[in-house]
């Protein structure tokens, strides 16, 4: 498992009965987590003195209950600063487990010894974009949500990366990749964090089990002659890490050689010493 254990402003304090107790800077949140199927005594003080609690509804979705929590605050990861805002479906604007991947590809970029162009697809609020830019890459950030791209720009400003070579694109990721292929564009690295399910601007259905392999095949056509890395993140239950590695091996490894690995990503739990699994990632990288 790849573990995001370099945080100072974030921690999973405890987990029990379908929920996790988290510290985001100086604020304590309780959020549901489908992986937490065990029950242990909730003795940590935060379980009773949280600043925000997301209550899952039996009918689907849910809602926040706040206790002295600001509408927005910030946390840091190394030299990056992220703006947090609790919003719909329990999210806060960052997936802290992804720091394990940020550290990995940042080193690849720094050690490349050449300019690196990164394409970040389904790029959300820009965690991977900012990590890549901070490491010295030029980045094309693509997300279909104008609001998410705006939030990512806000994080860039907070991280003193407003002047970094980042191209911000509000577009359907599949349509964008198809156009980039026609334009003859090339990238040295591709990052993607595709949703389990979604709809395009014209009602196109994205269902990850049906759409991900054709999309990876498309993206492979955008790789430069000497690509550096390829990263897929998945939060889809049932999509095993090995499936990610097979797809990357078929579409990238066969052409470029290199190394393919896939693992769960996870976060350490302070109170128990356990690692909370938080999805999976598949990585390809060139031989150094």
pLDDT, one tens digit per residue, over 77-86 is 999 999 999 9
Do 178 and 254 fall into the same domain?
yes
Q: Phi/psi at 106 (nearest 5 deg)?
A: -60, -40
> To the nearest whole number, what is the mean pLDDT of the chain?
94
**Cross-strand pairs, 29:** 22, 52
Do 42 and 182 fall into the same domain?
no
Give the CA distances from residue 70 to residues 91, 132, 168, in Å, rounded to whole numbers and listed in that order: 15, 29, 28
Do 154 and 237 fall into the same domain?
yes
CA–CA distance, 57 with 54 (Å, rounded to integer): 10
> Is residue 89 assigned to a domain?
no
pLDDT at 174 over 70: yes
Choose between 1 and 237: higher pLDDT: 1
Question: 7: closest CA among 87, 82, 90, 116?
Answer: 82
Q: What CATH number did the domain enclosing 64 receive?
A: 2.60.40.1180
CA 14 to chain centre: 22
If pLDDT is split at 50, 70 and 90, which confidence band does 15 have? very high
pLDDT of residue 158: 98
Do 70 and 137 fall into the same domain?
no
Do 66 and 104 fall into the same domain?
no
Choose between 239 and 126: higher pLDDT: 126
Q: Give percent above pLDDT 70 in the chain.
A: 97
pLDDT at 130 over 90: yes
| H helical segments located in the chain | 99-111, 127-134, 146-158, 173-183, 208-220, 241-248, 254-256
Give the CA distances from residue 157 to residues 10, 16, 130, 171, 177, in Å, rounded to whole numbers and listed in that order: 21, 37, 10, 22, 27
Domain hosting 207: range is 97-285
CA–CA distance, 211 with 189 (Å, rounded to integer): 21
> Is residue 4 assigned to a domain?
no
pLDDT at 57 over 80: yes
Do 72 and 196 fall into the same domain?
no
Q: What CATH number did the domain enclosing 249 receive?
A: 3.40.50.150
Give the CA distances from residue 10 to residues 35, 197, 252, in Å, rounded to whole numbers and listed in that order: 19, 28, 34
> Is residue 92 assigned to a domain?
no
> Is residue 244 assigned to a domain?
yes
Do 155 and 211 fall into the same domain?
yes
pLDDT of residue 121: 98
Choose between 179 and 206: higher pLDDT: 179
6-15, 110-119, 189-198: least confident range:
189-198
Cα radius of gyration (the chain): 19
Listed in sequence order, the residues at least 6 apart from 163 whose beta carbon sits closer than 8 Å to its beta carbon are none
Give the CA distances from residue 60 to residues 16, 32, 205, in Å, rounded to whole numbers and listed in that order: 20, 12, 21
> Is residue 105 assigned to a domain?
yes
> Is residue 90 assigned to a domain?
no
Domain-terminating residue out of 61, 84, 107: 84
Do 151 and 240 fall into the same domain?
yes
Domain-terminating residue out of 84, 108, 135: 84
Q: Give percent above pLDDT 90 in the chain.
A: 87
Domain-terminating residue out of 36, 60, 84: 84
Do 247 and 143 fall into the same domain?
yes
pLDDT of residue 202: 67
pTM: 0.94
Please tell me the total count of domains within the chain.
2
User: 3-state DSSP call for residue 67?
Assistant: coil
pLDDT of residue 200: 65
């Amino acid at each position: 498992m790849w573990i995001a254990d370099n945080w100072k402003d974030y921690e999973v304090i405890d987990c029990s009965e379908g929920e996790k107790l988290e510290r985001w800077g100086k604020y304590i949140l309780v959020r549901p987590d489908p992986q937490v199927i065990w029950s242990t005594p909730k003795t940590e003080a935060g379980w009773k003195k949280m600043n925000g609690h997301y209550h899952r509804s039996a009918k689907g979705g849910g809602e926040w209950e706040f206790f002295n929590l600001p509408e927005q605050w910030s946390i840091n990861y190394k030299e990056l600063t992220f703006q947090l805002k609790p919003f719909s479906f329990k999210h806060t604007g960052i997936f802290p487990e992804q720091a394990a991947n940020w550290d990995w590809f940042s080193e690849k970029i720094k050690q490349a010894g050449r300019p690196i162009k990164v394409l970040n697809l389904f790029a959300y609020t820009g965690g991977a974009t900012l990590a890549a830019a901070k490491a010295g890459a030029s980045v094309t950030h693509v997300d279909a949500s104008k609001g998410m791209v705006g939030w990512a720009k806000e994080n860039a400003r907070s991280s003193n990366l407003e002047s970094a070579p980042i191209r911000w694109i509000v577009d359907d990721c599949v349509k964008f990749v198809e156009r980039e292929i026609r334009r003859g564009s090339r990238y040295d690295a591709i990052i993607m964090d595709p949703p389990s399910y979604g709809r395009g601007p014209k009602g196109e259905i994205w269902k990850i089990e049906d759409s991900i392999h054709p999309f990876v095949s498309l993206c492979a056509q955008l790789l430069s002659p000497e690509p550096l890395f390829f990263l897929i993140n998945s939060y889809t239950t049932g999509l095993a890490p090995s499936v990610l590695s097979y797809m990357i091996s078929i579409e990238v490894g066969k052409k470029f050689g290199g190394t393919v690995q896939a693992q769960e990503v996870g976060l350490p739990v302070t109170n128990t010493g356990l690692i909370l699994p938080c999805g999976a990632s598949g990585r390809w990288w060139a031989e150094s």
